[in-house]
Amino acid sequence: MKEVLIAPSLLSADFSNLKSDIEMLNASEADWYHCDVMDGVFVPNISFGFPVLEHVRKHARKPLDVHLMIVKPEKFIREVAALDAMMMNVHYEACRDNLEEVIDAIHAAGMKAGVTLCPETPVNVLRDILPRVDMVLLMSVHPGFGGQKFIVETIDKVRELKSMIRECGKDVLIEVDGGVNTETGKLLVEAGTDVLVAGSAVFKATSPEKYIHELKTL
């Protein structure tokens, strides 16, 4: 079985001690830093923006996986690229009318392109665009807040997406975000998930580093 990648979500980090949480992740088996940007319009919450992420970048020693929960994410491609982000995830629901253009612009800026689907959006909306994307991020909670309950139907979406990816013949990663812990993570990995995002489960653990190791070795 392919090794699962772990992307702890900084949304659950201690923002008053961000540097030490980033250093903990640097020393852990985490693969990426998952950075949730919210605008209070696309989702009913506001998290952090580029000035904070610039500080994250200064200390982070691993790739940034930026998840934009904002309207018109294409307006910020330059800012995300300036962070030297590896992956820029945009929501299908935020740019379905110009998705192809947005993906091309993300690639032109030197980043990998991820397309995110809210829980109620079926995976088949991506059938035509799939060969152009590097990753599909399936939300397993309604975006906007950490600490929510995992929506179990996501497992079936992973399976369906996995078979669509096989059919299209391109190596597209599947990432799942929301309510991921060792229990739900195990089911997700079995269904074909490549990248697990975990926020509260990691940062609320007595030993976040140990918890990341448990996720990594599911």
For residue 12, the partner it binds in Zn ion, ligand DX5, none, with Cβ less than 5 to 8 A by kind, is ligand DX5
CB 115 within 8 A of CB 122: no
**Of 22-30, 50-58, 127-135, 195-203: span binding ligand DX5 (CB under 6 A):** 195-203
Indicate if 84 belongs to the active site: no
Interatomic CA distance for residues 104 and 91, integer angstroms: 15
For residue 198, the partner it binds in ligand DX5, Zn ion, none, with Cβ less than 5 to 8 A by kind, is ligand DX5
Size of site (CB under 6 A) for ligand DX5 = 22
Of the candidate residues 180, 188, 189, 191, the single one contacting ligand DX5 (CB under 6 A): 180
Q: Which lies closer to ligand DX5 via its Cβ, residue 86 or residue 168?
A: 86
Q: Is 13 in the site for ligand DX5 (CB under 6 A)?
A: no
Q: Is 178 in the site for ligand DX5 (CB under 6 A)?
A: yes
H/E stretch holding 89 reads strand 87-91
Q: Is 39 in the site for Zn ion (CB under 5 A)?
A: no
What is residue 22's DSSP assignment? H
For residue 180, the partner it binds in ligand DX5, Zn ion, none, with Cβ less than 5 to 8 A by kind, is ligand DX5
Show the DSSP H helices in the chain as ranges: 18-27, 50-59, 77-82, 92-95, 99-108, 154-168, 182-191, 200-203, 208-216
For residue 200, the partner it binds in Zn ion, ligand DX5, none, with Cβ less than 5 to 8 A by kind, is ligand DX5
Q: Which lies closer to ligand DX5 via its Cβ, residue 31 or residue 104?
A: 31
Q: Is 34 in the site for ligand DX5 (CB under 6 A)?
A: yes
Interatomic CA distance for residues 117 and 98, integer angstroms: 15
Q: What share of the chain is helix, strand, coil (3-state, %, to 5)?
A: 45, 20, 35
Interatomic CA distance for residues 198 and 194, integer angstroms: 13
Q: Is 67 in the site for Zn ion (CB under 5 A)?
A: yes
H/E stretch holding 6 reads strand 5-8
CB 99 within 8 A of CB 117: no
Q: Which lies closer to ligand DX5 via its Cβ, residue 106 or residue 197?
A: 197
**Of 19-27, 63-71, 94-102, 128-136: span binding Zn ion (CB under 5 A):** 63-71
- Please tell me which residue in 21, 36, 39, 134 is annotated as part of the active site: 36
Indicate if 177 belongs to the active site: yes
Interatomic CA distance for residues 53 and 205, integer angstroms: 24
Catalytic residue set: 36, 177
